[in-house]
Amino acid sequence: MKPTTLVLSILFMGLTFTDCLRAQSLKKEGTKNATFQSKQIDSLLAEWDSQEKPGASVAVVHKGEIVYKKGYGSANLEYGIPNTPATIFHIASVSKQFTAFSILLLQEAGKLSLDDDIRKYIPEVPDFGKTITLRHLANHTSGLRDQWNLLAMAGWRLDDVITKEHVLQVVSKQRELNFDPGEEFVYCNTGFTLLAEVVSRVSGKTFAEFTRENIFEPLKMSNTLFYDDHQKIVKNRAYSYYMNGDKYKKSVLSYANVGATSLFTTVEDLSLWTMNFKSPKVGSEEIIQQLNTKATLNNGKNFGGALGQFVNQYKGLNQIQHGGADAGYRTYLGRFPDQDFAVIVFSNYARFNPGGIALKIADLYLADYYVKQEAKPDKPIKKVEYKKLKPKQLDRFTGFYWNEKERYSRKIYVKDDTLRYFRNEYSENPLMPIGDNEFQMLGVGVDLKIKFEIKDNSQVMAVTIGNDAPITLESYEPKPPSKDDWIAFTGTYYSPELETAYTVKIEDDKLLAKHFRTSDIEIKRVKDDFFSGNRWYFGNVEFVRNSGGIVQGMKVSSGRVRNLWFEKRAAVEP
């Protein structure tokens, strides 16, 4: 500030000379902090700051202003086009909050209620004998099976052209729910495709038109749209990539459905959306409150979900967030409402971790707000002392263990003189002895103990995990692979729900499930008639026998789809 300017400030604003000097000092300090934060963010994203790689776009919003924005890497590797804050990304499931918001706008206008039955608006949804409300759909408690899992089971590739009509047809053929509505939380994309269709049918506009007119245009989100036409040209969009060996390859996305996904936007535009939560220009404070409020199950318990978002704490601060992942796009929006702060990270690379980067960026700005965890003198941290058990003592606990309720198997084995709890090749934890038959599980972030014991005076070993609502698994002996034994499972299996079939055959000493549109699925025996598949959409297979012991069908589950029935139609030659 020049001397003449300083004098004028004192004369016309009633400021003291000290006030002006303090203002100058604060301005310099703010500039210094911003420079430091900018350099730190650059350091976090340095790996992606190359035109030879896909990358990311970042924006930070604080107190109604974008305080940082920048692009890294390439939006298009073929043409060397850089990512910028104005680059348009497909943001996948971060789209869902806009779908829930649209429903709330219509509710406020008196045109529907969150507690309406979905069949009131979309009668094609089957009558399961249980009411599924719009609220159930918006907080993932409907019990409906997930559209992506069902399509994949039916032989679709996720880079096929998938339209709204395709999804509605799959929904209309569902024969049973995963669970009764409101009883559980299981993430379900189907619900948000249905909600977008409700918006369309109630408003008389396409969902893309409704959101443009009622959200994007009022908020001046000029580079934002719901992409409901896979052939539409969108200027300045980023394309997505994955790594195959040591080369990047295009990760193709041809979705033509909206609601659960398919919002195209920039970090600049999404920043305007985050500002609307603090000072609503679109919607009302009541709508914002409803959108941000945790949902409850039928038993009254919360599970962290809100309407199209998730609510959690991060280092003592309230955060409302959602991430997204489709093709090679990886996105994250985290809002800290009490600090009027938001961080947005979009990437066009499949291995990118946007949530991890976003929270590291949040650390740079919010450290002064974090709750300090002070050690209480009357409760000193107790150092765990591990026992030394001999190899023979550890060998007693090795083997396979079965959870009958959840229908899964675990393996416990010894490696490098340490007992290990094995889930799969990507997930296992060491078990450190704290007693003769009690162990501490390491690497899980919580105090988790497991205890081995003889059950019912027999030689069956049981392992109990945790203290609150403990999980119990019982030891069993898996059957070795056997062609003679497998013949009973071979045959053609048909799903009337998906109108598709798999042929189960023995080839090259493997039991395979074969579909004419997809790669073969190897299914390995876990226990008795329960098998595990090696595809994300074909995770568990349980063969079902009739009273005479003859296999009559199989139930296939994949996390978001439970017990999908395939009837055995014909045997095949072994």
Domain CATH for 406 = 2.40.128
- DSSP helix/strand/coil, 269: helix
Query: Is 13 part of any domain?
Result: no
What is the reported pLDDT for 376? 47
What is the reported pLDDT for 424? 81
Query: Is 14 part of any domain?
Result: no
Same domain, 140 and 168: yes
In the DSSP assignment, the letter for residue 52 is: T
CATH code assigned at 555: 2.40.128.50
Same domain, 413 and 355: no
Q: Which of 114-123, 448-457, 520-529 has the lowest mean pLDDT?
A: 448-457
pLDDT in tens, 479-531: 887 888 899 999 999 999 999 999 999 999 999 999 999 999 999 999 999 99
**pLDDT tier at 457 (50, 70, 90 boundaries)?**
low
105 is in which domain, residue-wise?
89-369
Same domain, 161 and 285: yes
**pLDDT tier at 24 (50, 70, 90 boundaries)?**
low
Query: Is 513 part of any domain?
Result: yes
First to last CA, the chain: 88
CB within 8 A of 392, min separation 6: which ones? none
* Residue 403, both tokens: 């959870």
Count: domains in the chain? 3
Same domain, 227 and 303: yes
Query: Is 68 part of any domain?
Result: no
**What average pLDDT does range 530-553 have in this prediction?**
95
Which one has a higher pLDDT value, 14 or 528? 528
Task: Yes or no: say if 86 and 255 are a contact pair by the CB < 8 Å rule.
Answer: no
What is the distance between the alpha carbons of residues 267 and 61, in angstroms, rounded to a whole number? 10
CATH code assigned at 257: 3.40.710.10
Same domain, 399 and 360: no
Residue 156 φ/ψ, nearest 5 degrees: -80, 150
End residue of a domain, out of 440, 473, 506? 473
Query: Is 252 part of any domain?
Result: yes
SS3 per residue for 357-425? HHHHHHHHHHHHHCCCCCCCCCCCCCCCCCCCCCHHHHHCCCEEEEECCCCEEEEEEEECCEEEEEEEC
Residue 520: Cβ within 10 Å count: 16
Same domain, 351 and 424: no
pLDDT in tens, 350-370: 999 999 999 999 999 999 999
134-151 b/e (C-beta count within 10 Å ≥ 16 → b):
bbbbbbbbbbbbbbbbbb
pLDDT in tens, 220-267: 999 999 999 999 999 999 999 999 999 999 999 999 999 999 999 999
Same domain, 184 and 222: yes
Task: Yes or no: say if 561 and 495 are a contact pair by the CB < 8 Å rule.
Answer: no
Same domain, 537 and 437: no
Torsion of CA 433, 436, 437, 442, to 10 degrees: -10
**What average pLDDT does range 163-167 have in this prediction?**
97
pLDDT for residue 118 is more than 80: yes
Residue 357 φ/ψ, nearest 5 degrees: -65, -45
Query: Is 329 part of any domain?
Result: yes
Query: Is 147 part of any domain?
Result: yes
What is the reported pLDDT for 572? 64
Same domain, 352 and 434: no
pLDDT for residue 194 is more than 50: yes
What is the distance between the alpha carbons of residues 484 and 505, in angstroms, rounded to a whole number? 12
Kindly report the length of the chain: 574
What is the reported pLDDT for 8? 41
* Residue 558, both tokens: 């994949």
Query: Is 253 part of any domain?
Result: yes
pLDDT for residue 2 is more than 90: no
**pLDDT tier at 28 (50, 70, 90 boundaries)?**
low
pLDDT for residue 9 is more than 50: no
End residue of a domain, out of 444, 473, 502? 473
Same domain, 352 and 400: no
**What average pLDDT does range 377-402 have in this prediction?**
80
Same domain, 351 and 423: no
Same domain, 283 and 353: yes
- The H-assigned helical ranges of 154-223 are 164-172, 190-203, 207-211
To the nearest whole number, what is the mean pLDDT of the chain?
Answer: 91
Whether pTM exceeds 0.95? no
